[in-house]
Structure 1
Amino acid sequence: MVLVHGGGGKAFPKWAEHWAERGYCALAMDLAGNGPSGRLPDGGPDQSDDVKFREFDAKTERDMWTYHAVAAAIRGHTLLAGLPEVDKKRTAVTGISWGGYLTCIVAGLDDRFKAAVPVYGCGFLNESSYWKEPRFDKMGAERAMKWVNAFDPSRYLPAAKCPMLFLNGTNDFAYPLDSYKKSYQLVKSPVAISVRVRLPHGHIWTFGEVDAFIDSRIKVGNPLPSLGEIRREGDKVSATVASKEKLKDGRLCYATAIGPWQKREWKSVPADLTEGRVVAKLPAEHPLVYFLTVTDARGLEVSTAHDEIPLGGDGSK
């Protein structure tokens, strides 16, 4: 397991221990130029936003933080795969926040991985993210697009060849659901989604969904439940569901489809599980954004992609 921390993070020993205790060889690295006792004299670019988004040209592109961080993750994979106790054909990567952002890029560049899990992080940062107004809007269109073409995950996700799990919260302050959906829709390999209502943002590496997804792809264990595309007929929405584990719960999650994603008030109500489908009735208010979830007997939750109904929208799809 290659473990990629987020902003303000470091090479967390407990994260590596979490995977080691589960029978994996794990590598947690520092991507901010720090060693055990602080900043290294040859640590390279730090992880501040000023450094991440600074101006660059053809000569300085390789001095950018993203370039160094992606190179470190790929090199870390090579070092890990070279250990005699590691099966180099069964490796995976997961990252949190900026580490999730990096995981999206690495998954498109390093085709040796058999699974990848970006938590929170995604692409399209110039279109909708915490950094749109303070960074991209102030760059100007030409400079912003130059950064996007070099360093945004949207440019790399279409090349990802391994299965991926995308895990995020409905109100994430940094990576909102519109950019998140556009990101995972770029992936051509199998994709699982787990979006949680009001999930807090932090260096959390104890998600059972991440463990089970990785296990099912490179070790042993039943996969996460699989949800089909969400369908709407009038005020009813449904999706097919397949699971090797018994399902214990279905939910409809919804919010008003206006205003900043971070401030929307999400609600969750029970949905029916019947004949291989999860089915729910939509509330009457519009505009609306919604998705369906199921939870299996292990307590592991997966979601459909979200859908939106505009004001006055009454069609079905």
Structure 2
Amino acid sequence: MQAPLAYLLVPSLAHNEAGHSEHNGRVTAIGAALAGVPRLELALQLPPAVPATAAQVTAAHTAGYLAQITKAAEALPPRIADPSTYLCSGSVECALEAAGAAIAALDAVLDGRARTAFSVARPPGHHAVAAAAMGFCLFNNIAIAAHHAQRNGSARVMIFDFDVHHGNGTQDLFYADPSVLFASTHQARLYPDTGAITETGSAAGKGCTINIPLPAGAGDSAMLQAIERVLLPAAVRFAPDVLLVSAGFDAHWRDPLASLQMTCAGYHQVAASLQALANTVCNGRLVFLLEGGYHLPALSASVANVFRALLGQPGHDPLGAGSKPNPEPDHTSILDAVRKLHKI
């Protein structure tokens, strides 16, 4: 019998730096929140992930980078990966486990054990580029998963990134690839200062990158309208075999690293909307991978709400709406511009 949801929890305890925003308490907090999700027993908890192989990693990254970061982590003390990204002696092993968890979650959907899946694993991945770590990310988990999907019968992959920061690494890796549709909602003019509307892909991949930069203060309404007015028609036109989601929860109004005002209730609606979208375009095949989210109560409650939505349960928002500007700033003109540019 097919489960409605499969999931993994990969806290990566050996990858940790005191005082850093991306620490090993993130997944632990999520695990505690999931204990309160109704009907969680209907979900399939997958066994511990098998670390991604070198072949799987180098589908997205260069062999030289894999060797370089492995050597850097083995140094005493380990060398920092980039100004915002730390390394510990166990960091590469943890990153391989996170990439392996993405593959395991995807496999559970592709082989029919579950209709949807969520890999709750760290470190995150969407900033990592082919030959460098960046922005807390060592390996690009969602890119590795996308290549794995294509090697296993899913020729056309759609990636949606709703982290508050633009997924520059994922965009770069598929910028010229017409077989992957990459779409991102993110706060405008925020790290890493990429993701302009005019970044639409190159060569054969022209038009297969869709960026929706949202103004500071945007929240649930903007996100849901972006899904309805941009993602849905783009997905129908592209006709993917599977939908992968870079699920960052740092657009929440309580998150310290940005200025959007999503709510936990909003993330429940987003998950339900994406499930409906997947049902429409790819027979329900939908996989979430954890990216950002650094206010633990907001992160854990928001992830729990995604689980609730995927299990058909009502949402629960212990934090309520934000104190940020309300009503939200205008986002209609941005969505109109994206629709016009992409002819959707």
TM-score band w.r.t. shorter chain: 0.3 to 0.5
Bigger radius of gyration:
1
The TM-score normalised by the length of structure 2 is: 0.34
The TM-score normalised by the length of structure 1 is: 0.37
- The structure with the largest strand share of the pair is 1
